[in-house]
Amino acid sequence: MTQPALDLVIAALERIREKNDRAPRASRTALARLQAFPVAASPREACTSATDRQLQAQNKADLLAAVRERVCVCTKCAHLACSRTQTVFGVGNPDADLMFIGEAPGADEDQQGEPFVGRAGQLLTRILKAMNFAREDVYIANILKCRPDMPAGSFGNRPPTPTEMQTCRPYLVEQINIIQPSVLVALGAVAVEGLLGTRAAMRELRGRWHTYNSIPLMITYHPAYLLRNQAPSEKRKVWEDMLQVLERLELSISERQRNYFL
């Protein structure tokens, strides 16, 4: 982008600012993309902005690594510390605009040490792709960092108990405080309960904006729900929630994206 072009963009933003009560908003993703364009008149300034962003991301990565170290050796829930293969901290961009929160690791996540890698996780990855995100662009974490234990010889996963969630929640709060995403997405009722302490039917919670610590929070169904209920109407509900997220992040949405699952 040349300096005259950048001047035009800034002038347009100023016109929007004059016409509205609120200043025009721009997500960090949108700003990063704008900054990625070399400015012919002042390349040094452009480099400085990109470097600032890299330093910020590195700082957040270091802070997250320190929390991860504490989680790795955490034994606050003695029964889970005994039964887990490993802790499952979180994955993705430490400087993400968008952060997803699930409930707890399942058997696959416990084995691999990464959240959302089983069938539900693969579906989440496909949803992200439809939003034009890679997993590395966003941050994904769970309320609980250890797999809820199961009786010997039984299969499947169980939801975390309120006590387990309350015990582990401070780690998630630290992750959110470090990452400072522009938008949070809670996946499923258990994640909502762990994050907000609210118990309500998903049909009443999903599809509208809530807030967590002043961060816009979208609540939607857990991908596992979509695996159980494959009706296009349910997929469309989740997709409409994600369209709201894209709009909130001020990212462009194609006509094709708008019409998914219609």
List residues binding ligand SF4 (CB under 6 A): 71, 74-77, 80-81, 87, 144-146, 164, 167-168
Nearest distance from residue 89's CB to ligand SF4, in Å? 9
Cross-strand partners of 211? 216
Closest to ligand SF4 by CB, 118 or 148: 148
Give the phi and the psi of residue 150 in degrees, each rounded to 5.
-125, 150
- Starting from the edge strand earliest in sequence, which strands make up the sheet with 91-92, in order? 91-92, 139-142, 98-102, 183-187, 215-220, 209-212
How wide is the angle at C-alpha 104 spanned by C-alphas 110 and 117, nearest 5°? 50
Q: Minimal distance in Å, beta carbon 88 to ligand SF4?
A: 9
Q: Which is nearer to ligand SF4, 38 or 170 (CB)?
A: 170
Residue among 181 and 194 whose Cβ is closer to ligand SF4: 194
Distances (CA, A) of 152 to 107, 155, 201: 14, 9, 32
Of 166, 183, 226, 167, nearest to 202 by C-alpha is 226
Q: Give CA–CA dist 237/177, Å, rounded.
A: 29
Strand partners, 97: none
**Minimum CB–partner distance for residue 237 and ligand SF4 (Å):** 30
Residue number with CB closer to ligand SF4 (89 or 100): 89
Q: In the complex with ligand SF4, which residue's Cβ is closer, 49 or 112? A: 112
- Closest distance of CB 171 from ligand SF4, Å: 6
Amino acid making up residue 158: R
Give min distance, CB of 64 to ligand SF4, in A: 15
Which residue lies nearer to ligand SF4 by CB, 34 or 81? 81
Residue 74 beta carbon to ligand SF4: minimum distance, rounded to whole angstroms: 3
**Range 191-210 burial, b when 16+ CB lie within 10 A, else e:** bbbbbbeeeeebeebbbeeb
